[in-house]
Amino acid sequence: MSRRPGARRIAGRVNADFLPVTSSRDDFLRDTDEFRVFDNAMRKEVDKLLISVKKEGDNKANLQASRVLKDAMHLVGNAMRRRKELFPAAQVPFGEADAVSSKQGYDVSQATYVDAGSQLDSTLANRLGIDKKKKQARGRPSAVLGDKSVIRHLRVANMDVAVRMEHLGADEDESLRSGGIIFLNLDHPLYTLYRDNDELLSLHLTRVLTKEITLSIGDVSAPQAFAIQSELLTDALRRKRKSI
């Protein structure tokens, strides 16, 4: 049972003095009816505990994803508010929203949770489906925490930037755009590396968001795009430092 995913996170003690032991008294006699009944009962109990542990881990990971995304979007929203001239609405392919009435000059929506992998546009669903088959051929992937995708919107002026935290797979890019939505990869090695530190996760997402938003600008050269992202990221991180 100890080889099962998550089993090592469970610790406890069971009094089984009714089981026959070996002559050296350092183990149970395993080839007995008593031990088989005991082993079967314990496996069922461990199954229940593993479900509970996984659910608790999923809930914690879902809330963390929502929390760090909100923090990153506030940083980016402030930076975009200060540099609105960099983002003519006609050139940003994220649709339009009503004018933002927030005193901050931008608005970050409440989180919406959907089942991971659900409600994807056909292009992305097909892409991830193909990748999933490849991963299955290589063997079982490591356990992943979080069973929900988190969706938030960032509204600045008349722009509406939709962002979704999604399990795209460790082999996928850190972010991509599909169906007018920015997808941030919860399985990317950098995200999993920083998972124990909310501040580092927030900074990671801030960098990725500024990259994707900059790439959404119209006809600009690569040097111009890098310069715009640098300005946005610098402004966002400067504000982050002041708030610490």
Assess contact for 99 and 214: CB atoms under 8 A. Answer: no
CA–CA gap between residue 233 and residue 99 (Å, rounded): 24
Assess contact for 68 and 198: CB atoms under 8 A. Answer: yes
Assess contact for 163 and 182: CB atoms under 8 A. Answer: yes
Q: How far is CA 109 from CA 30, 55, 95, in A?
A: 58, 26, 15
Flag whether the pTM goes above 0.95.
no
Helices 198-215, 33-82: axis angle to 10 degrees equals: 50
Assess contact for 210 and 79: CB atoms under 8 A. Answer: yes
Quote the DSSP letter at residue 112.
Answer: E
Q: What's the confidence (pLDDT) of residue 241?
A: 58
Quote the DSSP letter at residue 91.
Answer: G
The DSSP line for 148-191 is: EEEEEEEEETTEEEEEEEE---TTS-SEEEETTEEEEETTSHHH
**Boundaries of every domain in the chain:** 65-243
C-alpha 157: how far from its chain's center? 27
Q: How many CB atoms lie within 10 A of CB 3?
A: 6
Task: List the chain pLDDT tens, one digit each, 244 residues.
Answer: 555 666 666 777 888 888 888 888 888 888 888 898 898 988 888 888 888 888 888 899 999 999 999 999 999 998 888 877 776 653 443 444 444 445 667 899 999 999 888 888 878 887 777 555 444 443 334 456 788 999 999 988 778 889 999 998 899 999 998 888 999 999 999 999 999 999 999 999 999 999 998 887 767 788 888 888 888 898 888 866 555 4
Q: What's the confidence (pLDDT) of residue 141?
A: 45
